[in-house]
Structure 1
Amino acid sequence: MLKGIPQILSPELLKVLCEMGHSDRLIIADGNFPAESMGKNAIVVRCDGHGVPEILEAILKLFPLDSYVEHPVNLMEVMPGDPVETPIWDTYKNIISKYDERGEKAVGNIERFAFYAQAKEAYLIIATSEKALYANIMLQKGVIAD
């Protein structure tokens, strides 16, 4: 056990987060996301039984967001005509606002298939049991200047 480390972050996940460098990206994927097929070139870590918000909160306690890009956080856009509401995005923005002074301005949207293309280039994909639709979120790692 370590002090100050959120218990939801497994040793495996902590190791991978530590290995990531500036501008590397990770996906926290909902339960419908094809993590294994998208992650053929990425490290896939399973966090079954957990939702995206709780994983996001734990990661942002340790993980700096990239300050050199406009949107170090990106969400998968809802497909036109898809009658899906995304209240979980407000939850994400509230969590991000606690850890990044840009708040919701740090968050952008990426068209669904462009999101998939970028996910194939991600360093890490975290597979969760999140049931909300369009709940996938991409984070780009920044630097620690201290």
Structure 2
Amino acid sequence: MLWGIDPLLDADLLFALRRMGHGDEIAIVDANFPAASTATSTVTGAPILMAGVSSARAVEAVLSVMPLDSFVPDPALRMEVVDDPVAVPPVQQEVQQAIDRAAGRRVPLVGIERFAFYDRAGEAFAILVTGERRHYGCFIFKKGVLPPE
């Protein structure tokens, strides 16, 4: 165990997060997402598993050590609901709250169409698979930079 590090952040995930640079992306997806087939083109080459954990809790853990990119207008993306792109289901509302707490300000989740999400996730540095069983618990985050000391 380590002090100051969320216990959900295991060695594989911490290694991936540490290797990510400014502008790299991580997809945090639900249990239904085709992560194994999508992750073949990611840098890590295989999904990182966080079974039994909700999307919001996984996002909270990741954003406890990873800043969001402040140089782009949309560093946080969510998979849009098919046939209702403006809908924001409860799982996405919970993740929005986790993002805002971590950032200390409002950072809106921007919708991305389902198949465009799959394509973008396939280009991500890493894919983190949660145990989230609610539909549309899929997100992409762009890594920012640490401020000077």
The SS at the match of 1:39 is: helix
Gaps of 5+ in 2: none
Distance 2:62 2:49 in 1: 14
Q: Distance in 2 between matches of 1:98 and 1:115?
A: 24
TM superposition shift of 1:144: 0.6
How high is the TM-score relative to the length of structure 2? 0.90
Separation (CA, whole Å) in 2 of partners of 1:81 and 1:143: 34
Equivalent residue runs for 1:8-19 within 5 Å: 8-19=8-19
Match for residue 89 of structure 2?
Answer: 86
Q: Give the match for residue 140 of structure 1.
A: 142
Within-5 A mapping of 1:16-55: 16-42=16-42, 43=44, 44-55=47-58
CA distance in 2, matches of 1:46, 1:135: 15
Runs of 4+ residues deviating >4 angstroms: none
**1:133–1:17 CA distance, 2 compared to 1 (3 A):** same
Q: Distance in 1 between matches of 2:84 and 2:76?
A: 24
Cα contact 2:55–2:91 (8 A) shared by 1: no
Which runs of 5 or more residues in structure 1 are unaligned? none
Query: Over aligned residue pairs, what C-alpha RMSD do you find?
Result: 1.6
Give me the whole-angstrom Cα distance separating, in 2, the residues matched to 1:119 and 1:10: 21
SS at match of 2:53: coil
Q: Distance in 1 between the 2:11 and 2:88 partners?
A: 34
Within-5 A mapping of 1:45-124: 45-80=48-83, 86-105=89-108, 107-124=109-126
